[in-house]
Structure formats: C-alpha cells, structure tokens
Amino acid sequence: MVISRFAPTLGRFVRLTSRAHNHVQSRGLASLKQPASLFAPLDTFHERHIGPDDAEASKMLAQLGYDSMESFISDAVPPTIRLGEHAVDMPPLSESQLHARAKELAAKNKSFKSYIGMGYHNAVVPPVILRNVMENPAWYTQYTPYQPEIAQGRLESLINFQTMVMSLTSMDIANASLLDEATAAAEGMVMSFVSAPKKKTFIVDAGVTTQTIAVLQTRAKGFGIKVVVGNAEALVEDQSLKQDVCGVLVQYPDVNGAIKDFGDLADKTHSLGALVVCATDLLALTKIKPPGEWGADVVVGNSARFGVPAGYGGPHAAFFAVTDKLKRKMPGRLVGRSRDAEGNLAYRLSLQTREQHIRRERATSNICTSQALLANMAAMYAVYHGSDGLRRISSKVHKFTQVFESAVKAMGYKSVNEHFFDTLTLDVSAVSSAKSVHALASAVSINLRPIDDHHVGITFDESVSPDELVKLLKVFASAASASAPTITELPEPDAPSIPTHLRRTSNYLSHPVFNKHHSETEMLRYINHLASKDLSLVHSMIPLGSCTMKLNSTSSMIPLSWPEFSTVHPFAPYDQVQGYHQIISELEEDLCKITGFAAASLQPNSGASGEYAGLCVIRAYHESRGQGHRDICLIPLSAHGTNPASAAMAGLKVVSVKVHPDGNLDLEDLKDKAEKHKNNLAAFMITYPSTFGVFEAGVQDACKIIHENGGQVYLDGANLNAQIGLTNPATCGGDVCHLNLHKTFAIPHGGGGPGVGPICVAEHLAPFLPSHPAMPVRGEKSIDAVSAAPFGSASINVISWAYIKMLGGKGLIDSTKIALLNANYMAKRLQGHYSLKYKNENGRVAHELLIDLAEFDKMAGLKVADFAKRLQDYGFHPPTCSWPIQTCMLIEPTESETLEELDRFCDAMIAIREEADDIISGKQPKDNNLLKNAPHPVSTLVASEWNRPYTREQAVYPLPWLREKKFWPSVSRIDDAYGDLNLICDCPSVEELAQVD
C-alpha cells in the first residue's frame, strides 16, 4: 500500500491505495484505528484531543531522523529524570461515559435554595449571555489581549466592565477585574501600605466578611502589616494606633446587611494620611450613595451577581476602582483607549509598566491575569439591562427584603439592622433558637447564614420568586408557632429601608452602550459583533509559548452549565455538596499522581496565586522548625516575572542566579549563593522545562544543592505539559509546585482569565496547606486562606477533572509526547529561516521553541513587534513576544494542533522571512514595508489612495489559502505611547461617538 499526502491547502486527507481498493479516507486516529472490541466505545477522547494522527506523527519523526517515538523522547528528556512506562496509570473514560459519571456525581449535590449571602448570590444568567458568551468558544478560547489589533471585541467589552464599575462606584478609574473580592481587598490593603510605607497598621471593620479577613491576614504577614479587626470608627480614634494607620477597610453594606454612613470615618482616616478601602456590592449601589461620593480611595467587590453563576465559589470577576491619584499604583490589567495608525479609535492594555513582569521583585502584586470571561459576562449583563433594568431588579430585591422583614417582625423576630438593602440579621431568641430555625429551613431545602445561637442571616437576590418568599416565611412562622401570610397578605412597601441621606441621587450607566441593546435581537448581534473582531482557537492555532493554548473540549465544558454545579453556594454545608467533594478529591488525587507529590490544594485561583501559596507554605514549614529567619529566595534570571513578585509578597528577599549563554542554569553560581546564604536560605524557584524551552540535565543537581543548604525547592509548573508521564516535579527534586489548570489541564483562558493554580506538595509540607473559615476542620499548622472561597474557582475544576478522566494515563502521556514532537518538528521546519536560540545537547527542544530575531533588527531595523503584527495578516495570533528574551519569540504548538496547522504556521513564518529579506536587500524600504505597516485591516485595503511599495494583494493575501480562510484585524497598528500619555479608560460618551461619526 502506498501512502501519500495532499498539499495542506487541499484538505486534511490521507490517500490509501492498494490492489484491492482505491479510495480517499479521512485522516485521524478515530477513523484509522479499529476499536478493541464490538463493545468498546467509539467516542474516545484521546483521538479527539490529540491533533496529529499516527501517520502524521510518523512523518514528523522521520523528518527529525527517528524511527520511533521512544528514541525521540530519549533525546528530548534527560534519562536521569525519566519515569517508568506506566507511571501515570489511569483508565480512560469515553465522552459519553464521562457525561454519565458527571451526571452521577452532580446528583450527589443537593439542591438547596441559598440565602447565605456573604458576597455570593444566586445570579440569574440571561440565556443570551449564557449561550453566546459563557458557552461560546469564540469568547472562552481567546487569549489575553496583548495583541490588541486582533482583540478589539473583548477589549471593548472590558472597557464596558470598567465603565460599569466606575459609574456605579463613582470612582475615577477601574481595572479590568481581579481574582475575587477578598484578594482585591488584600490588594487594596497593600496599596494603602505602599502609599504610607512607614505605617504598618491596617484597620478592618468588624462588618467585613470573614473570608476577606482571613485572606488579609495571610497577605499582611509577608509585608509585615498589622491587621486590627474591630469597630473602625473607634479604632481610628485609638491613640495607640492612629499614628501608625496606613488604611481602613469597611464593608458597605456590611456582612450583616447594615448600611452605615462612613463619610466621617473617611475624613478622619484621610486626616491620618491613610486610605479608605471600601468593599461593596454593585447592585446595592444602584440604591445607595456610591463610595466615591463619601470619600473612599479604593473600592472593591464581586461582580458575580451580574449574571455569573455561584459555581461553589467561582470563578468570579472582582472589581477594583481607585481615585485618579492612585491610578498608576493600581494592580492588574487596565484597558484604555488609544488610536491606530489611521487615527481610528482603538483599545489596548494600558500602563503595562505597572505589571509584575516589568517590576519583578520590586512589585507589590504578582497579578498577571484577570477574570476576563466573567468580567465580560458581568459587563454584558449591565449592557443588556441598562440603568433602568438594574434599577428595576434592585427595587424588587430590596422590596422582597422589606416584605420579609415586616412579616417576620409580626411573628416576634427582631431585625438587628434598621437599614438594609438585601440582607437581614435576625435575633430569633424571643421566639425560637437559631438551631431550630436552621433545622426547619434545612427540612425544606433552604440554607440560611449561621451566625450564633441567637441570630440568623438572610440575603435576598433576584432569583427569589414569590412562591419561594412564602416558603421562606413558612419556615420562620413554624419556628415561631405562628401562621404564615399568603402572597396576597403581603403589602408592598411604600418607602425604602435606606437612610434618606444615603440614598443614591446621581445617575449611572448613561453611556450609549448601556442604553441600546435591551432586546435579545440587539444583544445577540452586539455579542457576536464583538466576537467577530477577536481571533480565538475557533480560527487558528494560538502558539503562545508558556501559555499552552490547547483544545478546550466541549465535552469537558458541558457540566458547567448544569444547575447541580452552577448554583451551589461556596459556604453550603459539606453534606450538601458530596458530588463536588468527590470531584475535588479525585482531581487532587490525580494531580498528586501526576506530580509525584503527597497532597494538594485547589484553593489558589491563578498560577501566580499558586506561587504565592506555595511560598507561604514553605515559610510556615520553616517557622514550625524554629527557622522563621530563613528569608532568602534564589531565582534564576530567566524566571517568569511572577516568581520574584510572589517571593517579595511572601516576605522573601530575592537573590538572582546566573544563567549560562546556552540557557542552562549556572550551577556553580547557584552553589556559591546557596552556600553564602545557607543560614537564611528559604527557597529556590525554578521553572522546568526552563522558560527557554529546554529540559536542563542538571535539575536534580540544582535541587540537591538547595536541600543541602537548608532550603526548599519550588518548581514552577507552568510547563508541566512537557512532563506528564515522562517525568514529574517530585522526581526532579521539588518540594512544592503549582499547576496551571488553564494550561496543562485544558481550562479555557477566557480572553485573560479565569485560571486555577493549585499547589501540590511533598508529605512534609502537607500540614501547611491553606485553610479557610468555611472549612469545618482546619489543620493546626495550615496557613490562612489565599482565596475568598475554600476551593477557589471550584466550578471550573470540573473541566480539568473531566480532561484527566477522559484521557486516562496513556492519553495524558501521549499528549505530552505529541506536544514535544510538534515543537521539535516546528523547530526543524523553521531551521535555516530563523535562529533557534536554545536546544539541548541532542539538538532538541522541549514543548516550545525560542527563536531569536535580533539579526533582523541589526540588518533592517525590524523588531519583534513587526513580525508579530505581520503574522496577524496571515491569520495567526503571534507567539509570545519579547519574553523571556527581548529579541525573541517563544512558540508553543501544544498537542492539539494537526500537522496541517503546524505547516500552515511554519509556511507563514517562512513567507515573512522572505518579506524581511526583501527589506534587508533593499527591494522594500526600511520605513515603509509589509512588516512595518502590518497589520492591514479592511479599512486600509479599501482606502482610495495606496502609496505603498507593495500591492494590496501582497498585503492581505500573501499565501493562497488566505483567500478562503482569512481572519481580518479590525484596526491597524495601535499607538501604545499615545494610549499611555492620554489615559482614558471608559466608554466613549455620546458626544465623543458623534465626533467619531
């Protein structure tokens, strides 16, 4: 039989020819392999997830000079760290079997109506947003918008989010979201500390939620901040504290529902030279005086009640808004307006010099992500409802709360808070006991907030129906031995239960975008109009090095929308969430098996959060042994910027370690510095494979050096996709690692979040894993919480659980092998066209390759950005640019891309090299050419004048296949400097839009 392959432009087919038959068969393992038996499933995930089929893998191996996969792997991965053949032994589930298993576990989560509150609500997700944003791969497979010309849709939506937050809080500027409310409050605390560095006392009002207080206590330790909890108004008058106060945190309305006037407190705090941080609720701010009008400096909160499911704690988009004077100290991503090369309005990420990858150990925040997908959902919710719609929702919620209060008062209960928006704290002691009320509520599948023996809490939201209101009243009537009123007996309130002087009078959401998309038709079109501007995995591969943009399978995403997973409150009693806990337990067990470690925590809700948590665990371990003085952290110069930033946040002093010209760690320098600091050495942070895309042979020697000098090894798991089943962090010598579930384990990147960064630890570190106030059993040695919810972004852990279960051990290992093969094949194809910066002694890279473009700058003034923007014209998202080396591109294809797609990308890169050669040779001028003018949107193509030394066709159709498969950038190259010099971070007004028109 003769096997030949059509050219990539003609489709993905393999021609099979023999004497017996002559036909064309579609490519792919699913069609080429016969099932093991008649009864074996046909919907196996392995074949759907891995891009290249056996024939393509063999072809790539032959191109590299190998006759087997094992011989190739032996050259790519050092033999000293290799695992046995079946090191990750897990049976796979087919897609349908996984669906059935997920349904089985979902049924173990009991369906209770939650009135727990504490910053979490039963959000009503508009179906048009659920189907077209949350469940739409054009939205959830996008990457962070570092290439703004092909990300204008989500950038506009994030501008909407920022504008929504600014308008509702009455603050000057807001960022594009943070991880959760508690960590946002912690960022506010650190901002207060940085603004008054000689002061170290941070006052937290007693009305702040317990989960936020726990996270603050964790974060404060690394900075040496003293957290004092109590009555904030009294504490700012305390003579023993007031001269040392850097900031004050209040909750508005507070955890018990009370609405207090913090205006005087703000004045007193400012007189001390300190900042006021306010945690608040966006829906409440449609009714109550916004914090920006009474003196808050920083305003934070959770936007999830704007159409994002509770999901047992997340993911949710926190918001963070500040006054103008603090804008350049604000953590996280910030979207701003700028202009493109033609002078058109365009959006981009602004002020990136604030971020940790620039500031490194000088950073006070390690935030390198956001919750973009959830922020976009919240923004779309505001766009869909507008100010009038939000006012209608908030009025209903408030009036339901008032009706309930009036009815239970008549039964003999006492409301502790006279003024409220949606939350009541009831003193039940006159008629019953809290235990009795909770028992009666539980009997009818209702959860209330436990407080103490005499009080219960109740929080209303837009999901509560009239029937549910009556059902709730019956619980309290039964406890009080009273009769419950019917719906017709409940009078509508005639005045708000909000103090007159704290009622909102200012307008909000007046921008045009919030006032024109209120029908489903218009909303649907707006959502898809924005999506059409963004390149995502639905268009082409996204070969971002260190980002692992692999398939986010539909089969693993489907359970997220099931109410058994999506509607669960994070503080629900454990006996109601056995399905979730089974998934969490299985995922932790699988991650430990994969990493070789003994225990895991899923609480960190980003990779950087995992780094921070892991270092806090190491510090706690040293303290438990009477070695709390150990505070030196060794970090290679090649490390990701979050590493030194996380170390600084954990209270560690960073000492850099040299790297050899070949990219390998300088073991002699490491040894010298480890020995020099052996009395104070706490940790060593290393990424493996390295950020240069190579398995370093000396990793075990490096870890041994650290252990011999009293330190612990933190192995950054950003590149774990190259390890699974071939080696693991424990074998390499690590003590703790974080994993990026949004990379290796297929959680979507969502356009810049969500992410999950669990940590796995060796047995001696297990007792120090993070605890949480909501956990019924807390370890004596555990560090405090690092996230607002006990299991972080719990709902999307289901995705990684499903991914692992469907691939099984063999599928996971095959995925790693193909990821390595794809990267090395691309390195081979680009050889001779570009300079490969680093490779191992066998000439192999790991799962990614680093190409150096410095020669083009020297010969023709061409920068990395010029190659990146030109790639957009070829329909590709550029690789990671100027990191980890300023003049380089870092390319990671993942295992999900087929040989055809790899070739298509390589063809584009080779074609761009030829265009660069024309500039070098003088055929095109250095200041007016295909690369310098890229990208070329339609607006450029149809311009009446064309004064460029190349044709329109060369600009937009440089290769034949682009005529059929072309993604168009929506703007030309964006002016970054203009955007930072003219910082505007909200939606255009009516007047500005009129000027544009």
Chain segment 760-775, per-residue pLDDT in tens: 999 999 999 999 999 9
The neighbour count for residue 251, using CB atoms within 10 Å, is 26
Could you tell me which residues come within 8 angstroms of residue 145 by beta carbon, excluding any fewer than 6 positions away? Answer: 151, 154, 155, 158, 335, 348, 349, 751, 752
Q: In the block, which residue shows the tokens 């939606």?
A: 987
CA distance 326 to 171: 11
CA distance 36 to 46: 14
CA distance 931 to 287: 52
Tokens of 920: 């070098």
The single-letter code of the amino acid at 742 is H
Inter-residue contact 616 to 604 (CB < 8 Å): no
Cite the beta strand spans of 602-753 per DSSP E: 632-636, 653-657, 681-687, 712-717, 736-739
Could you tell me which residues come within 8 angstroms of residue 428 by beta carbon, excluding any fewer than 6 positions away? Answer: 413, 434, 437, 454, 455, 456, 479
pLDDT at 15: 33
The single-letter code of the amino acid at 733 is G
Tokens of 144: 């962070």
Residues in the chain, pLDDT under 50: 1-25, 29-31, 353-358, 996-997
Inter-residue contact 218 to 263 (CB < 8 Å): no
Inter-residue contact 40 to 19 (CB < 8 Å): no
The single-letter code of the amino acid at 30 is A
Residue 526 — φ and ψ, nearest 5°? -65, -45
CA distance 724 to 739: 12
Cite the beta strand spans of 495-621 per DSSP E: 599-601
Residue 703 — φ and ψ, nearest 5°? -65, -35
Could you tell me which residues come within 8 angstroms of residue 981 by beta carbon, excluding any fewer than 6 positions away? Answer: none
Inter-residue contact 123 to 463 (CB < 8 Å): yes
Nearest to 883 by CA among 871, 865, 869: 865
Q: Is 575 exposed, middle or buried (0-12, 13-18, 19+ CB in 10 A)?
A: exposed
CA angle 279, 283, 288 (to 5 degrees): 75
Nearest to 690 by CA among 503, 895, 840: 840
pLDDT at 992: 57
End-to-end CA distance of the chain: 64
CA distance 438 to 430: 16
Question: For strand 298-302 and strand 275-280, is the pairing parallel, antiparallel, or unpaired?
Answer: parallel
CA distance 691 to 717: 11
Angle between helix 899-921 and 794-830 (nearest 10):
50
CA distance 787 to 367: 13
CA distance 820 to 702: 24
Q: Is 775 exposed, middle or buried (0-12, 13-18, 19+ CB in 10 A)?
A: middle
Nearest to 364 by CA among 176, 193, 616, 615: 193
Rg for the chain (alpha carbons), in Å?
Answer: 29
Q: List the alpha helices (DSSP H) in 351-417.
A: 356-359, 372-410
CA distance 119 to 660: 50
Nearest to 923 by CA among 860, 836, 848, 849: 860
Q: Which residues pair with 349 in a beta bridge?
A: 335
Describe the chain by its helix, strand, coil percentages, rounded to 5.
45, 15, 45
Residue 113 CA from chain centroid, whole number:
28
Cα-based torsion angle of the residue sequence 496, 499, 500, 506 in order, rounded to the nearest 10 degrees: -80
CA distance 183 to 213: 10
